[in-house]
Amino acid sequence: MSGQGALGVLVMAYGTPKDPGEIAGYYTHIRRGRPPTDEELAELTARYEAIGGVSPLAERTEAQRGAIAAALEARSGRAVPTALGQKHAPPYVEDGVRALATSGATRVVGLVLAPHYSRASVGAYHERAGAAARSAGVEYLPIDSWHLLPALVDFLAEAILDARRGLPARHKVLFSAHSLPERALAGDPYPEQLYETASAVAARVGLLPWPDWALCWQSAGRTPERWRGPDLSEVIRELGATGRAEGVLVCPQGFTADHLEVLYDLDIEARRVAENAGLAFARTRSVNADPAVMDGLAELALARAGCGGKV
Ligand code: FEC
């Protein structure tokens, strides 16, 4: 152990209802305690039903945590305690911090399984984890972003090369990420980081900006305020209408796992929009527990703790 104190790694993710009976409570948590209307609840429940009743996110997140723990051990030569901390489902971020403190950690690295920083998303995880760490008397070391992690760029480039094989030659790559309200994005690094990842991946694959690829936004909330666009569906419709492409390849670079926003919003909804627009559709595979990306994250966590591979 380094002289700086015992290390723990808090792996954070969005969380999902474990069964349909938990959807109402989960939705209420996302809405900061405001229960959804019956209509909103029915609409969300139908989306979960369309992907098989439950999201695979819980399973994927646990596999990611396990792979990061294994990589931490392989790199440092000893087991490093890890804990899961979720935003909207148990175990919550605060539970994860407490579990690490109880296991003897005095310094906790916070890693969110979303590569791009925005105050409203990744910043909110760190705020909660930091407050829990202060209460537990442990030091908190947040990782803000990892959008240019070499293993991530390699993974996305490979995934694009594989997925485009099934598409007509005249197709466009649409890098998508979760939209946020414009008011949350003033002075926020999120759009720029998304552009940087997409540019790095596109350069690796040999794509040219605009004729070959573009940035899009997905899954915007159904609220009256303005959300960042262009919306993925609009871009797909426009491509179909102008005939500038015969297919689209969606790369959901803002997410790291298979879940509702990928399996429903892209594989069902965006695919339907593309088919109606007369375009072929494909989507790149998700990172999930890819060993190279999980190892890159373990390396980053050790570097954040100043351990350089030694714990
Ligand atoms: O598979 C699953 O069960 C969970 C999938 C899931 C992920 C996810 C990731 C992000 N979200 C982000 C922002 C927002 C904002 C709102 C919002 C609302 C929802 C709702 C569901 C949902 N999100 Fe989510 N998100 C996932 C699921 N999200 C369900 C509620 C119904 C709906 O609008 O579809 C609006 C909140 C509000 O009303 O106040 C904003 C961002 C991410 C990516 C970063 C991360 O993973 O943390 C940003 C996965």
The amino acid sitting at 36 is: P
Which of 260, 266, 288 is the pocket-test mutation for ligand 1 (most atoms within 8 Å of CB)? 260
- DSSP class of residue 269? I
- The answer, yes or no, to whether any atom of ligand 1 lies below 6 A from the CB of 53, is no
What integer pLDDT is reported at residue 308 of this predicted model?
A: 61
Residues of the chain with pLDDT under 70: 1-3, 308-311
Total of domains in the chain: 2
Phi and psi based region of residue 137 (left: phi greater than 0; alpha: psi -120 to 50; beta: remaining): left
> Are 159 and 262 in the same domain?
yes
Reported as a single tens digit per residue, the pLDDT across 47-65 is 999 999 999 999 999 999 9
- Pairing of β 247-251 and β 171-178: parallel
- The answer, yes or no, to whether any atom of ligand 1 lies below 6 A from the CB of 14, is yes
Residue range of the domain that includes 179:
150-283
Which strand (E) or helix (H) includes residue 215? strand 213-218
Please name every residue paired with 216 in a beta bridge, in sequence order, or none if there are none: 176
Q: Where are the alpha helices (DSSP H) in 77-187?
A: 93-102, 122-136, 150-163, 182-185
CA–centroid distance, 134 to ligand 1, in Å, is 27
The domain that contains 124 carries what CATH number?
A: 3.40.50.1400
Q: Which residue has the tokens 């559709």?
A: 281
How many other C-beta atoms lie within 10 A of the C-beta of residue 268? 12
Q: Work out which ligand 1 atom sits closest to the CA atom of 259.
A: 1
> Are 173 and 235 in the same domain?
yes
CA–centroid distance, 58 to ligand 1, in Å, is 14
